[in-house]
Every structure is written in structure tokens, then in C-alpha cells.
Structure 1
Amino acid sequence: MPTECIPYNETGYFSSMICDYVAEKENITPFYHRFPKIENFKAQIEEKQTSQLTQVSQRKILSKALRNQYQTIKASDETLENIHKLSSTNTFTVTTGHQLNLFTGPLYFLYKIISAINLTKQLKEKYPSYDFVPIYWMASEDHDFEEISFFNFKGKKIRWNREASGVVGELSTEGLNEILQEFSKELGSGDNAKYLQSLFEDGYIKHANLAEATRYIANELFKKYGLVIVDGNDIELKRLFIPYIENELFQKTAYRNVAETAEKLTSVDESYKVQVNPREINLFYIQQGIRERIVEKNDRYSVLNTSVKWNREELKEEIHKHPERFSPNALLRPLYQEVILPNLCYIGGGGELAYWFELKKYFEAVEVTFPMLLLRNSVVLKTKKQSEKMEKLQVSNRDLFLSKDDFVAKKVKELSEINIDFTSQKKHLQAQFKELYELAEQTDKSFLGAVAAQEKKQIKGLMHLEKRLLRAQKRVLKDKTDRSREIQEELFPNGTLQERRLNFSEFYEVYGENLIPTLVEHLHPLQSEFLVLEL
């Protein structure tokens, strides 16, 4: 299948922080542990292996908790074997995480998980004496329902409208039958469409809550690859996190260390933006449909917007009796993940890695190994027909990444029989003014200012004429440029990356069960480039 890889810094869709990270620039190195190169994983394995967090007793708790979580679905032999392997100190994980978006949400859900699957394969080839398990961490304790309540299909937003409170993983799937009917009307009549309809129905209509439904769907899509799906909203797993919950509430280690790191990060480069600001307490309290922040004042603790209150001793008792009621926020969740998993590497998007960069000093303070951080694969999928159209219109893969205005300007200049580039005229004008500057040097120096002002005025005039000519040619060549813009809009809908807008079902309906194996074949997680893939 035809492919092309484009460096991230040439796409225009990644922040300077992420581009600097991928390029291994020195200014970003203090904020991560080891760069994700295959040869660097040996030291990461050895460091994680010596950690008390990977001892047999904790691994057995993890393995048992996962077996309990899988009771509501039929796991593959590969997945069950991987869950069993996690009890061995010779097994390590590669983890990615994602929200419980309706029907998986945007396409990059697939790319995250496939990046994790493929990295575990590469690690097994390089380090055959160890085992490696791909993990999908469900963000079941999030509470932002609006972000996850829809998916896009064939240009239509299919949205689940309902009242929601508390953590999203515990939301009842009641009412999703109406969404199934709406989705079914948009689907075709082929076998692939029927599979998508049954996948939605079996996931959401036959499971009680959003976490169980998401686990079922992710398992169905990736079970042959041994993917293990973890729900952190689990009392046995939370028990392993109790010391860190107490540290967060009574020592506030995260607040001090993350705030200091965030300040250093922004001082390194003014273009670096802080992704998440720490709170004094980065924990929520969850119970009976609520998820509210815990706050402290004068050694008294309370849950916002509730009547729940404790003194220090009462709070300690609550933590040990009900650890499942304490939920980490976006900054603390990475620590929770690394405490309960024998994890080597976290795979995420640019925004995710940006907040991980704030956490290294905090991890050191609480003596937890900081994972390697890998930018997930990014892909544009196009059909053979679209490739043929691009070739006919002389649109390159790199052209697609241009902004709308830059794309049209480039096509106009290529199509125009008139030379719209006034560079040669500008050079000729500058040569003439060079002579005037030499003349000015021989007379009153005040004449220099007049020459400079005139040069600036005439260069600006040429630039204005160039823009006027470009606009005129845009009108003349509108039909031709519109055809080129159509293909760009197809592949970059609404001027955004395809992977952030389209749902996998749009491609699965056409390519069926070949879609995921094709992606698994062509996505290379350590390659660090944007992939354009013709299906």
C-alpha cells in the first residue's frame, strides 16, 4: 500500500514543545526520563524491575482485579494469557489511555491502541527473555460527559443527549437504543454495516454502564492482539494507591513539585504552554453520582458542593475503609497508573505528553519510576480514488497539510500562466536603491532616511500589487482551485486532522475486518513521523 511519512514539524499541527521533544532538543530533556528508542528500554526494564511496586504480591492483586473486571465479557485466549503473565516479575506493560467516547469517538482511539500493540511486539523481538503486554487504560473516572457524548459519522454528529453526573464509567446505558436506531439509519446494508450495528448493540444495549460497554467494544476490536483493558475505578487497585492518596492529602507533594516544574517549563521557551495547573489537592471524592473536589482549610477537609466533612483522623479512616471513593484528577492519574502497573512507556497525544512533562520531579519525590513517553502514531487515511484524484490535480500529500489560504495560494501560483512571484522585481528595486544609498553617503546624511523611507514604501507597494494579482488570479482560477480544495476538505474535514474528527466506523463500513490489521501492519510507533496511508 502506498505510504508517505512526513516529519511532525512540517505538518503545522504539532506544538513547538512536541516538535522539540521528537527532535530530542536539549531544552526539553530535563522534563522526561529516557527517550523512547528501542535500545533505551533495557535500562527502563532494569529500573522498573528493581522497584518495590513490581513485586509479586502487587502483581497478583493486579492480575486478580483484571480477571474480575473481565467477568462481564468473553476475553480472548491471548488477553487471558496476558492477564496471567502480569503476575510474573518478568512481564512489563506499554500503556495508552483514552476517554469513554461514544463508539470510541475519533479515529485516533485506534492509533493509540495500535501504537501500544506494535511497541510490545518490537520489545519482544528485541528483548525475548521478557514479556510485554499492551494496556488500554479506560478513563472511567472522568466526569466531562459533553466531551464523550457523540461521534461523527458521514458528516453527521450522532449525540447522546441526557443528564449526567458523577463519573462517566458508571453512567447507565439506558437510552442508547435511540442512538442505535439513528446510527442504523445512516449505515448501509452490507455485511460490514451489519457488524457495526451489532457491535454497537452488543456493547451498549447489552451492558449496564458505559465502562462495561466500552470494555466490550475495545475487546471486540483488539482481542486477537491480546489487548488488556484496565478500569482504574476498582477498590482492589485503589488499595494499592492508599499511601499516595495520603501523601496527596496530607503532604501536598504534587502541588509543590508540579508547580515548580511548570514554572521551569515555561521559562525554557516562551512558546511552551502549561497544560494543567496543579491544585493543592488533586483528588476528587466519588460516591452515588457525585465527583467533587476535596479541599482543605485549617486542617479540616471537605468535599465541594456537599455536606461531607472530616478532620484528619476521620479522613484517614475513610481512605482505608473506602479507597475507591478517592479519584485522581488529570495530574494524579498518571501516578496511579504507574503505581499499579509494571509499566515502561506511556503512549499519548501531544496534549497528554505536555502534562506528563510537568510530572517528572513529582515522580522522583514520591520515588516512583517515571515512564518513557511516546507520541502516538498519527495517520491520514485516503482511498485509491482520492489518490488518483490528487495525482490528476497535482496535489501532493504535503500540500494537504497547508492551511486553506496557503493551499489555495500555492495552487494558484502553480496553475497561473502569469508569474505571481515578484521576488525578482523586489531584488531589482533593492539593487537600484543600493546605488541611491551609495549616493546618499556622499552628501548630507539626512538624505539616507529619505532613501530608506522611499525603499520601504516601494517594496510595500510591490507586495500589495503581488497580493492584488494573486486575488485576481484566484478569481480567474476558482473552478480549478475549488476542485483541489474539495480533496483537501475530504481528507482534512473542517480544516482539522481527519483522526480528530472522523469515527473508525466510516472506514470499517468500507474495509471491514481488514481495516485494523492494515493499520497494525503500517503503523510504526518509534518512527516519529506522520503517516499518509492509502487504503
Structure 2
Amino acid sequence: MTSAPARLPLLDAYRAGHLSEFFARTPADLPAFLQAQRVLDRPALAAALRAYHLDVGLPDGTAKKADPAAKMLAAQLEKLSHPEARVVVAGQQAGLLGGPAYSVHKAADAILLARQLSTEERPVLPVFWIASQDHDADEVASTHLLDFSEREFEPRLDLPRGVPVGRIAWRAEWSAQLLELIGEFDAPEAHKAAVRSRLDFAFKGRTYADVFARLMYTLLGEHGLIVLDPLHPALARLMAPALAAEIERPLEGPQRIEAAAEQLEAQGYAAQLRRPPGSTNLFVEEESGQRTLLRVSQQGGKAFEGYTKAELLSLLDSDPSRITPAAGLRPIIQDYLLPTAAFVVGPGELAYAAELRGVYGLHGLEQPVLWPRLSVTWLEPNVARLLERFGVTAAQFQRDPEGTLGKALASQQQAAALSQERINHLEGEFSALMNELSALDPTLKSSVERSKNRTMSRLERHRQQAYSALARAEDDKSGQLTRLKKHLLPAGHLQEREMNFLTYLLKHGDTPLKLLLSLEAGAQVDVVIP
């Protein structure tokens, strides 16, 4: 067993193979893991996915005039029936207009990695798991776009609370509201028409999750992406045995999660998942449509609060989509259904996964390779020019916008009072004074050193305040700080976690999509849009 020092971030420790008690393997193990046998009825899975795609209105590729995406989908599902087929899976909630850009980045990463791994003898297919079972309306009800006039658009829909998004019927007035936004958006008409065409297709979906699925299909279907909605009856039926096993032993998984959480915290990491006594890893969708976490009953004749075990098993048999996994079980159910070789994850998902290895074991599964996702910061031409002018990177600006810009301005203005050389000189003078005073009276050394440290700390704080003042003064004159924030830190969040990917398609056509699909799998990059 190898342990990482707590000072090493979890992602770095994982990549280095220092957390083998929490993770079964690292990205370096992916070629070997592909060789492992995974017993699964792949033809049944492919048939269920065909049924889902037909129900969501995605073409099956058999028509004479089938478009490239439809033909690709048919070919991909055929490959999935191959006895050695594996998948690279990514997933995200069904965000409005596709959600934050990283939803598309994740899906693209699954495509890029699957391309890299796939062979004729062992096809590897990219799958996007739509979190249609999720009931957090606030996470998916709004999005953020920015047009060429630097106007921010933040559409928000009024969604019912506590209901799985895959059960929410799409409304015609939502389509009208969003298409009106596209009309107002300052961008080339040809690019707007292309996006409008994608949205016209997407908005024919019956549910919120269907609309998301159809939009992802228009973006990445022709590149091989297979979308998957776990609420679809045919797919839910295939997952039912794993959920039945969880109903039979509802506390074992949570207990293993708690044990892993304690181990993580002992090593200095924050546990992202906790399971209080009585909590299970299962949700039930009530007759009202509300999704409720199942708890083991502490009294009475029912095994669960509100249900007997037999009632839950009967419900699972009659409508398997109404029993759904919580965060501590969702990846396991995903990998029970799919022949997963790699799971594309962000930092939050990796932190969750650190507590789930034992739950995989309960279901007779091996945890797949967790692939740290592709991360892209898009630099439009005006933003790239500004960053170059100030001599800063996007990452530096995102970490400390005022300080980074102020420091660059101070350097350009040759503000000696803010230079590192001046600070170093002062620190040297303090050190010399400390040594001289200590030579006269050794008992003064510690108090003089404390005085030095306090003074230098205050000077550094004042220097940072001066940097911020410089940045604000420049912003008052030119608006450059505000402009960079709108592009790189929209609403105070990292760009790819907030900005909708359609922003870039509306303004620059399909160029950003082509650039995205030309990257290396797992890359962490800034991409300049020409």
C-alpha cells in the first residue's frame, strides 16, 4: 500500500500512483486493463441503446439518405456488439443548451481517448451518460453566453424542484425563449443560422434530457459519440439486478464509503461523500414524481422508511427506472451496465471515486481507469491579444485577476515601489539589521525576526492592494479588466465551468469544434480561436 503526503493534491497523487488503497489503477494502467476480460451481454446492451435512440427520435442510419451522424451511430452500435468491445464513458447533467463548456469537452475527450485505444480486434466506443436521474433543478436550469458586443446572456427556465430532469417535459415556450435569445445575439448571421438549425433539431425532444441528448448528437454524433439516458426503460431493465442487490444489503455500500472517507481524512484529504447511519445509496421516485433518498427504518415492520424490501423489489420489477442510484452508487451502476475501460472525470468526480473502490467490490466489479478530463480555456482573438499585451497567461489571470493585471501594469510602468527587487532589498536590510542587533544583544534576535516578518507581511499585503488599485484604475480607463473577467471568469467562475460552448459556435462557426477534436486526449490547454 502506498500513501501520498497530504500536501500533494489528490489529482497529482492519483496520477503518481500514490493512492493505491483508494484507486485500483491509474491512467498508465489503461493498456493493460483493456486486455482484461469483461463478461457482459453486449448485444443486449446494443439493442437497448438502439431502442433508446429510436425513442428519443435519433435516426437509426438505415435510411438511404441518412446523414453522417446517423450512419456513424448505426456503425458504433454494431461495434458495441463485438465480444471484446469496451467503452470510454463521460457524463454530466443535462444542462440548458448543453450546459457549461466542459460538458462538451468531456464528451470530446471520450471520443479522443476511444479513437486512441480502438482497434479492429477490440473496438472502443465513446459513451456520454446523461444524468437524467438527477433532480437538482438549479444545476441545469440556466446557462451563460457572451456575444460580440460583450453582452452577457443568462437564460433561466422555471423547472419543477425535486423531479428527475429526465421526467420534465420540454415546453414550446422554452424553445421560443431560447430562439429569441439567438436572434438578439451579436454574431455572424451564418453562424447563428447553423446553431439555430441544431437547436431546432434538439427542441423536438420530448423531455429536458431528450433535448440535451439531441443537441449532443448534433454536435458530436458524427464523430462517434453514443448518448445514453439511464431512465430509458430498456436500459433501466439491464441495470435492475445491480439495484436489486443493493436493496438486499442496503447498508454495506455506505459503510464501505464511510470507512474510505475516514482513511482519506487520516491522510489529510477532505472526504466528498459521507453516509450518515441509516442512509442508503438508493433513491426512489415517489408516485408524486419527487425523488427521495431511501433510509433504513429504525423501527416498525418495514425494512426501509416507507417501504418493505418486497415492495421495493416489486417496484424495481414493474418500473426499474423509479429506483435510481445516489452518488455513492451511480458510477458502479454505470460500469455494471457498460464494459467500461476508462471513465472521464473532473476533480470532483475523482474525489468521489476515491471512496468507491469497496462498493465496486460488493458488486463483483473492478473500478475502471479514471481518466482526468480534457480541460480547455478558449481564447478569442481579442482576449489572446490582451493577454499577450500584458504578458500574462489565462491561468494566471484566473487565479488572481486584479493582482495579475496590476503586477503586469506595474512592470510596464516601471513602478519601482512595487518591484520584487525593492522588496528583496528591504528584506536584505532587515536581515542585516537583525544580525547587527543580535550581535549586540542575542536575546533580541527572536523579537526582531518577528518584527521583520510582520513588517514584510504587511508590505506584501499593501503591495497586493496597490496592484489591485492599478488594475481598477486601468479598468476605469479601458475596461480591460472587466472584459477579461467576462471571458475568462464569467460570473466569477472558471470559463469552462460557466460559459456555454454555443457561445463559441455562434461567434466563430464550427472552428472551435474542429479545434477541440484535434486535441490530445486529456490535454490541459489554452486554445486560441483564429
| TM-score interval for Structure 1 and Structure 2 normalised by the shorter chain | 0.7 to 0.9
Q: Does structure 1 residue 112 correspond to structure 2 residue 106? A: yes
CA contact (8 A) 1:282 1:329 kept: yes
Aligned twin of 1:423: 424
Mean alpha-carbon deviation: is it higher for 181-190 or for 361-370?
Answer: 181-190
- AA partner of residue 292 (structure 2): E
Aligned twin of 1:160: 157
- Distance verdict in 2 for CA 1:526–1:218, change over 3 Å: closer
Deviation at residue 78 of structure 1 after TM alignment:
1.2
SS across alignment from 1:108: helix
Q: Which runs of 5+ in 1 are unaligned?
A: 1-13, 442-447
* Structural mapping, 1:65-84, within 5 Å: 65-71=48-54, 72-75=57-60, 76-84=70-78
Q: Does structure 1 residue 235 correspond to structure 2 residue 233? A: yes
CA contact (8 A) 2:85 2:124 kept: yes
Aligned twin of 2:454: 460
Mean alpha-carbon deviation: is it higher for 249-258 or for 503-512?
Answer: 249-258
- 2:384 aligned to 381, 387, 394, which one? 387
Pairs aligned (count): 494
- Distance verdict in 2 for CA 1:431–1:375, change over 3 Å: same
Q: Does structure 1 residue 59 correspond to structure 2 residue 53? A: no
Deviation at residue 31 of structure 1 after TM alignment:
1.3
Aligned twin of 1:3: none
Aligned twin of 2:63: none
Matches of 1:159 and 1:362, distance apart in 2: 37
Q: Does structure 1 residue 129 correspond to structure 2 residue 116? A: no
CA contact (8 A) 1:45 1:344 kept: yes
- Distance verdict in 2 for CA 1:181–1:259, change over 3 Å: same
Mean alpha-carbon deviation: is it higher for 459-468 or for 401-410?
Answer: 459-468
CA contact (8 A) 2:329 2:359 kept: no
Aligned twin of 1:445: none
Aligned twin of 1:29: 20
Q: Does structure 1 residue 371 correspond to structure 2 residue 368? A: yes
CA contact (8 A) 2:407 2:467 kept: no
CA contact (8 A) 1:390 1:487 kept: no
Higher RCO (C-alpha 8 Å, min separation 6): 1
SS across alignment from 1:29: coil
- Distance verdict in 2 for CA 1:436–1:395, change over 3 Å: same
Deviation at residue 432 of structure 1 after TM alignment:
2.7
Matches of 1:182 and 1:286, distance apart in 2: 35
Aligned twin of 2:131: 139
Q: Does structure 1 residue 16 correspond to structure 2 residue 9? A: yes
Matches of 1:70 and 1:31, distance apart in 2: 36
SS across alignment from 1:73: coil
- 1:85 aligned to 79, 85, 88, which one? 79
- AA partner of residue 427 (structure 1): G
Aligned twin of 1:488: 484
- AA partner of residue 484 (structure 2): Q
- AA partner of residue 30 (structure 1): E
Matches of 2:30 and 2:71, distance apart in 1: 27
Matches of 1:471 and 1:42, distance apart in 2: 51
Deviation at residue 95 of structure 1 after TM alignment:
0.2
Identical positions, percent: 23
- Distance verdict in 2 for CA 1:434–1:89, change over 3 Å: same
- AA partner of residue 199 (structure 2): F
Using structure 1 for the length normalisation, give the TM-score.
0.85
- Distance verdict in 2 for CA 1:426–1:369, change over 3 Å: same
* Structural mapping, 1:247-396, within 5 Å: 247-252=245-250, 253-269=252-268, 272-278=269-275, 280-286=279-285, 288=287, 289-297=289-297, 298=299, 300-301=301-302, 309-396=306-393
CA contact (8 A) 2:99 2:500 kept: yes
Aligned twin of 2:208: 210
Aligned twin of 2:194: 195
- Distance verdict in 2 for CA 1:15–1:508, change over 3 Å: farther
CA contact (8 A) 2:254 2:328 kept: no
CA contact (8 A) 1:412 1:481 kept: no
Matches of 1:474 and 1:92, distance apart in 2: 51
Deviation at residue 360 of structure 1 after TM alignment:
0.7
SS across alignment from 1:292: strand
Mean alpha-carbon deviation: is it higher for 403-412 or for 369-378?
Answer: 403-412
- Distance verdict in 2 for CA 1:348–1:413, change over 3 Å: same
Mean alpha-carbon deviation: is it higher for 274-283 or for 149-158?
Answer: 274-283
Deviation at residue 408 of structure 1 after TM alignment:
4.0
Mean alpha-carbon deviation: is it higher for 470-479 or for 149-158?
Answer: 470-479
SS across alignment from 1:400: helix
Matches of 1:390 and 1:321, distance apart in 2: 58
- Distance verdict in 2 for CA 1:344–1:422, change over 3 Å: same
Using structure 2 for the length normalisation, give the TM-score.
0.86
Matches of 1:144 and 1:133, distance apart in 2: 29
- Distance verdict in 2 for CA 1:433–1:221, change over 3 Å: same
Deviation at residue 15 of structure 1 after TM alignment:
9.3
Deviation at residue 292 of structure 1 after TM alignment:
1.7
Aligned twin of 2:32: 43
SS across alignment from 1:100: coil
Q: Deviations for 1:281-337, whole angstroms, at most 9, x for unmatched residues?
A: 211112552322223325844886xxxx44333443333333232111122111111
Q: Which runs of 5+ in 2 are unaligned?
A: 1-6, 61-69, 147-151
- Distance verdict in 2 for CA 1:470–1:207, change over 3 Å: closer
- Distance verdict in 2 for CA 1:475–1:118, change over 3 Å: closer
Matches of 2:459 and 2:377, distance apart in 1: 37
CA contact (8 A) 1:36 1:526 kept: no
CA contact (8 A) 2:76 2:125 kept: yes
Deviation at residue 44 of structure 1 after TM alignment:
1.1
